Amino acid sequence: MNLKGRHLLTLFDYTPEEIIYFLDLGDELKEEFNKHGGHPNRKPLKKSLGMMFEKTSTRTRVSFETGIWELGGQPLFLSFRDTQLVGTGESTSDTSQVLSRYLGGIMARVYKHKTLTDLAEHSSIPIINGLCDLYHPCQILADLQTIREHKGKLKGLKLVYVGDGNNVAQSLMIGCTKMGMDVTIVCPDDYKPDSEITEKVAKIAEKMGTKLEITKDVPAGVKDADVIYTDTWISMGDEAQKEIRLKAFKEYTVDKKLMSYAKNDAIFLHCLPAHRGYEVTDEVIDSKQSVVFDEAENRKHSQKAVMLALMRD
């Protein structure tokens, strides 16, 4: 499959077959990495990846940085604060055209999705979304890789996301629906996913023959879940609403009782960082059902697949 030169801004832009291609390649790269004790012989991507961060990160930064190095390329960490974008107000379009002359690809974590579309519009190299206000596509590729590893399949599974209808929830809706999974978002009325995105996903669900449900009813929503997923109630940028959010979500903690409504063999995922005692309790995140560290590891393998597919010669 040829995905060379494409941007990855949202999974809306990728067909189910293309998503499966990323997942299969991610599995292959993971196997190769493990077989060679962390020192793969093959160095198929001798290119530089610019990693632009407008917000903080642990997993995204480290997994992309080590991932590009393992593929044979090199990472360049570019904090927004230290570039001319912020320093002298250089335009996104000029920045994008200049960086295209030096790099093989750009991964950017930004506040507004528009910053990514602006970068992409003026770039001759792939732009990869490392999280924005609307989406977190790389996270979802790692999530799908992890679910498939633990469940042996994706199609026909029911994933229930509990909590804030945020960037992670929105990308999960897209990615899981495209994989033929049923998706339920359990959230308070005021924190539903974006309505335009929901409408678009509902159309995909209809085409794929899957269910998309949004409910505030925790036991009914979680019933029969194969996968339970949650994320922070206070995303980066939402800090000013901390107090009202803590109140709004207080019935939505993923605890042992909530897990008991799901199937007995349900697995638990969280993109991390977790806020233990808030969106999830210690006994759930540290339980046998939790696969959060496999999920974090898979960020690197699935992103290596993305970089290789989009940035290859």
The Cβ-side half-sphere exposure at 130, using a 13 Å CA radius, reads 30
> Catalytic annotation on 139?
yes
Please select the residue that binds ligand NVA; options are 62, 202, 236, 248, rule is CB under 6 A: 236
> Catalytic annotation on 299?
yes
Alpha carbon 267 to its chain centroid, in Å, reads 17
Q: How far apart are CA 56 and CA 60, in angstroms?
A: 9
Give the contact letters, 143-172, x = binds to ligand NVA (CB under 6 A), - = no: -----------------------xxx----
With CB cut-offs between 5 and 8 Å by kind, which of ligand CP, ligand NVA, none does residue 58 bind? Answer: ligand CP
Give the contact letters, 106-145, x = binds to ligand NVA (CB under 6 A), - = no: -------------------------x--------------
Q: List C-alpha distances in Å: 159 to 93, 134, 180.
A: 39, 19, 11
Q: Which is nearer to ligand CP, 138 or 154 (CB)?
A: 138
With CB cut-offs between 5 and 8 Å by kind, which of ligand CP, ligand NVA, none does residue 281 bind? Answer: none
Residue 99 near residue 123 (C-beta atoms within 8 A): yes
Q: How far apart are CA 22 and CA 277, in angstroms?
A: 34
Q: List C-alpha distances in Å: 162 to 7, 191, 258, 313.
A: 30, 11, 10, 41
79 binds ligand CP (CB under 6 A): no
Largest CA distance in the chain: 56
Sheet holding 212-215, edge to edge: 212-215, 182-186, 158-162, 227-230, 267-270
108: which strand partners? Answer: 52, 129
Residue matched to tokens 């290859």? 312
> Catalytic annotation on 303?
no
Q: How far is the CB of 227 from ligand NVA (least distance, A)?
A: 18
With CB cut-offs between 5 and 8 Å by kind, which of ligand CP, ligand NVA, none does residue 232 bind? Answer: ligand NVA
Q: Which is nearer to ligand NVA, 210 or 232 (CB)?
A: 232
Catalytic residue among 7, 59, 109, 148: 109
- Which pair of tokens denotes residue 309? 């597919």
Give the contact letters, 183-222, x = binds to ligand NVA (CB under 6 A), - = no: ----------------------------------------
With CB cut-offs between 5 and 8 Å by kind, which of ligand NVA, ligand CP, none does residue 235 bind? Answer: ligand NVA
Q: What is the DSSP letter of 31?
A: H
Please select the residue that binds ligand NVA; options are 231, 280, 292, 299, rule is CB under 6 A: 231
Site size for ligand CP (CB under 6 A): 9
Q: Footprint of ligand CP on residues 114-143 (CB under 6 A)?
A: 131, 139
Q: How far is the CB of 117 from ligand NVA (least distance, A)?
A: 18
Q: How far apart are CA 205 and CA 176, in angstroms?
A: 9
> Catalytic annotation on 231?
yes
Q: How far apart are CA 187 and CA 193, in angstroms?
A: 9
Alpha helices (H) along 129-166: 137-151
Per CB under 6 A, residues contacting ligand NVA are: 131, 166-168, 231-232, 235-236, 271
Q: Which residues are catalytic?
A: 109, 136, 139, 231, 271, 299
